[in-house]
Amino acid sequence: MLMSWLADVRIAVRQLWKRPAFTLVAAGTLALGIGAATALFSVVYGVLISPYPYARPGEIWAPGLSTAAGAQRVRPYRHDAFEEMARQPAFGDVMATAPGSRLLTGGFAPETISTIAVSPNAFRFLGVAPVIGRTIQPADVLATGEARPVVVLSFRRWQQAFAGAADVLGKTMRLDDVDHQVIGVMPPRFGWWTSDGVWVPLARTDAAMMVFPIARLRDGATPEVATQQWQALVPAIVNAHPDQYPRDGVKGILTNYLDVTVASGPMQQSLRLLFGAVGLLLLIACANVANLQLARASSRTREIAVRLSIGAGRGQIVRQLLTESVVLALIGGLAGLAFAYVIIEVMVDLMPTFFVPNEARIELNTLALAFCTGVSVISGIAFGLAPALQTSRPDLVTALKDEARGSSGGGKDTTRNVLVVAEVAVSVVLLVTAALTVRSFMTLQQVSLGFEPEGMVSVGVPLPPRTYDTRESRDRFARTLVDRVRALPQVDGVTIGNGGMPFGGPESPYAIDGQAAVDGQRAQVHLAGEDYWRVLGAPIRRGRGFTDREVAAGESAGVINEAFAKLFPPGVDPVGRRVHLALLAAPPNPQVLLKEGVSPLVTIVGVMTDVRNEGLQRQPRPAIVIPYTLLAPTGRTLTVRTSGPVEPLFNALRQQALQMDPLLPLSTPYTGTEAIAEQTAQPRFTMALFGAFGALGLALAMAGLYSVLSYLVSMRRREIGIRLALGAQPSQIRRLFALTGLGLVAAGLVAGGIGSAVLARVLASQFDVFGQTSIDLLSLGSVGILLGIAALAACVLPASRAAAVPPTESMR
């Protein structure tokens, strides 16, 4: 059996080798489909299936809270609550993470780096060994609860800061003015909350410190039991510090960690849909090759008939033909690997990093190779089976006659026609989906932003908390920097705040004066100077902006957006009314300094236009702007509007800040246009890939259509000759064949249109990622025109050539 199978393989290789043109075209077509599928598999595997290098990631659980307003699947708790969690019988091991950043100075260029404080059991919990040295151990937290100044480096930080030096252990890093000793380096894929920062021990001295806990269950404990215990604990935690947790109807929930952190929702949806798209692409490629096989089969009728006449069974013929198909597919798969490598490179470049876990590695690994092989074999069987079954039962008497022309029978034409219709239908589905992504992106591009990003330049100005340890010092720095920058040429306005330019920024519970606070109701709070509206290009609709005096004195004045204004009772003018901001009553953490004696009741002085502050795809959220002098966080963003070119300001802004403090870890300046581009990165990624795969599908479908229809025309050369001899005009011949091709395309369009509509309905929730879920006639019409042109070219060109040949020639 094995020997005869090997003989089949040998003959198959020889067959393909002797027909290089066919092999090249068929294997090339398959390479596109298999390569795209392999690349997407690698991405899906790296991002969704196995994104983490941690031990048994599926057994990690995140304790969260659920309220009527929604679920917080991952959220921080006070350190004392974390310790209480660890005492629950169902929880075998619980670790805590306190993400933050510290200023790196000393022998290094000043820079703020991610510094993740983790409980001493964290590295054992995660189950990843260092590449050098050791990880954080229980002994790194002293009996007093204080953490020893030691640091574990990420692989990238080791490369950046120490050039990958092997003798890095024992060296010193100065973080927030404290020398930390390097004790270990983690492997490249380890990226717990940071991929280029460091990890330090989490001190036990501050019970109020907020930490993110995760847990593994004790042996034998089920998630249901653990959830029950967690739910029993939640009321005590919430009641002990009601200001820090939601109150109404709060309930404990446990979520598997893979479900909460593996890529973001839109990326997951995009990848799933893209995986489906390459599946369609592969189908088109298979249909193409099946058609080529069928065309070739008619020239092999005699060979198959001879084999049957000398004793071959039908099964043996089918096996031989399938072996040829699988060998062909494997050659295609091999070439597809090279194509997959290119696609992966392009995808990784295009992929917005913030949508993907730090630890994800997208590469052609052993599993991807196995996938590629499997897909190749399945494809080989898929596109080879129908031709093999059909070819293996020729009319022996006709086929063995010497005058047999090897022309295809009616049955084969039907199969070919069905394949063409199916190919067109599948490419319609693919193209309509691609058109949906393009339209979605275009819609996003046309969305009314509410501000003018052109001419805006921002730079992050983090103030080291030890150097700037009072609110006055932080405000003084901010005011001086604003004044210096305002004096720069071509600067039309300057503001400084805490994000919200216009995206990001903190949120705060609020209550409209005279109304009760609603649990879970929060508004965005943007710190700003008096130029804020000029800098953003966002007009005030009613009332006014801040005066210089309000900003300088830190008065409790506020400007709300229209979304916030709608929360006031109908007919009530918000201007002059007051809003209670919890943020001004109790800052979120000790590093945010509040102006002494400030009132949490903010008087509204104006209503500004709605600005897209939650990304471009979402409606603006209620937001309030208050003077930056009321609250002093360490992180600041300076934003400038200029009427001139933005690039010269990049250096000028940095220079002004560094002249005031050379140790400031400034971020890279960015323009408003770049901030918008980042917001559209995910849809752009989806659109680019869908567009590329759609174009590839269209090209394959057009090529398939052309090859099949031109083959059908060539098979009817004799008929064309007879028609011409009987007086037909070449134009009549062209029309005849054009109608044949267009008929097939029309059938494919109808089938594809129905398929697209059904798909859009079935996958409505998935298509949600595009912002629109229904197909439209414009997309379908455009696709129809494209395929119609391809069909016309495919029919008319060969028919014209055939019509140009003298009848005596073509009838020969």
Partner 1 sequence: MLFNRSTTPTPTPAATTPQLDDNGAIVGLRDIEKSIPQGGGQLFLLRRVSLDIRPGEFVSIMGPSGAGKSTLLHILGMHDASWRGTYTLLGHPIHALSTKARAALQKRHIGFVFQSYHLLDDLTVYENIELPLSYRDVKASDRQSIVAEILDRFRIVAKKDLYPSQLSGGQQQLVGIARAVAASPSIILADEPTGNLHSSQAQEIMELFRQLNDQGVTIVQVTHSEENARYGSRVIRLRDGLLDET
Amino acid at 536: L
Task: Give how many residues touch partner 1 by CB under 8 A.
Answer: 23
Is residue 299 a contact point for partner 1 (CB under 8 A)?
A: no
Q: Is 319 in the site for partner 1 (CB under 8 A)?
A: no
CB-wise, 15 or 66, nearer to partner 1? 15
Interaction between residue 18 and partner 1 (CB under 8 A) = yes
For residue 9, state whether it binds partner 1 (rule: CB under 8 A). Answer: no
| Residues found in the chain | 812
Query: Exposed (0-12), middle (13-18) or buried (19+): which is 233, by Cβ within 10 Å?
Result: middle
Burial class (CB in 10 A: 0-12, 13-18, 19+), 473: middle
Q: Which is nearer to partner 1, 319 or 718 (CB)?
A: 319
Instruction: Note whether 400 binds partner 1 by CB under 8 A.
Output: yes
Which of 14, 241, 476, 761 binds partner 1 (CB under 8 A)? It is: 14
Q: Are strands 557-561 and 456-460 parallel, antiparallel or unpaired?
A: unpaired
Q: Does 143 bind partner 1 (CB under 8 A)?
A: no
Residue 566 within binding range of partner 1, rule CB under 8 A: no
Distance CA 782, CA 213 (A): 52
Token pair recorded at residue 700: 């394959």
Q: Which stretch binds partner 1 (CB under 8 A): 14-22, 224-232, 464-472, 668-676?
A: 14-22
Residue among 651, 632, 624, 630 at smallest CA distance from 640: 651
Query: Under the criterion CB under 8 A, does residue 409 sit at the interface with partner 1?
Result: no
Q: Does 166 bind partner 1 (CB under 8 A)?
A: no
Q: Can residue 310 be called a binding residue for partner 1 (CB under 8 A)?
A: yes
Cα 116 from Cα 154, distance rounded (Å): 11
Which residues from 65-104 bind partner 1, rule CB under 8 A?
none
In the complex, the smallest distance separating the C-beta of residue 707 from partner 1, rounded to whole angstroms, is 23
5 is a contact residue toward partner 1 (CB under 8 A) = no
Q: What binding mask, one character per residue, do residues 609-638 give for partner 1 by CB under 8 A, x or -? A: ------------------------------
Q: Which is nearer to partner 1, 306 or 746 (CB)?
A: 306
401 binds partner 1 (CB under 8 A): yes
DSSP H helices, 115-222, are 122-126, 155-162
> Closer CB to partner 1, residue 390 or residue 686?
390
> Which range in 180-188, 302-310, 439-447, 457-465 contacts partner 1 by CB under 8 A?
302-310
- Report the distance separating Cα 536 and Cα 676, nearest Å: 13
Dihedral angle sign, alpha carbons of residues 184, 189, 193, 197:
positive
Which residue, 385 or 400, has its beta carbon nearer to partner 1? 400
354 vs 190: CA distance, rounded Å? 16
Give the pair of three-digit tokens for residue 472. 């006055």
Calpha distance 400→420 (Å, rounded) = 30
Residue from the set 220, 311, 410, 727 that interacts with partner 1 by CB under 8 A: 311
Which stretch, 98-106, 306-314, 676-684, 705-713, contacts partner 1 (CB under 8 A)?
306-314
**Cβ 506 vs Cβ 588: under 8 Å:** yes
Site string for partner 1, 349-388 (x = CB under 8 A): ----------------------------------------
Tokens 């847990």 locate to 215
User: What CA–CA distance (Å, rounded) separates 311 from 678?
Assistant: 68
CB nearer to partner 1: give 136 or 304. Answer: 304
The answer to whether residue 312 forms part of the interface with partner 1 (CB under 8 A) is yes
By CB under 8 A, tell whether 20 contacts partner 1: no
* Closest to 799 measured CA to CA, from 697, 721, 725, 710: 710
Nearer to partner 1, 68 or 397 (CB): 397
Binding status of residue 13 toward partner 1 by CB under 8 A: no
- From residue 689, give the alpha-carbon distance in Å to each of 392, 405, 433: 40, 46, 11
Strand (E) or helix (H) holding 808: helix 807-810
According to CB under 8 A, which one of 75, 218, 302, 486 is a site residue for partner 1? 302
The terminus-to-terminus CA distance of the chain in angstroms comes to: 46
- Our finding on whether 309 is near partner 1 (CB under 8 A) is yes
- Helix 681-715 × helix 730-762 angle, to 10°: 140
Q: By CB neighbour count within 10 A (0-12 exposed, 13-18 middle, 19+ buried), where does 311 fall? A: exposed
**Shortest reach from residue 15's CB to partner 1, in Å:** 6
Interface contacts to partner 1, rule CB under 8 A: 3-4, 7, 11, 14-15, 18, 302-303, 305-307, 309-313, 316, 396-397, 400-402
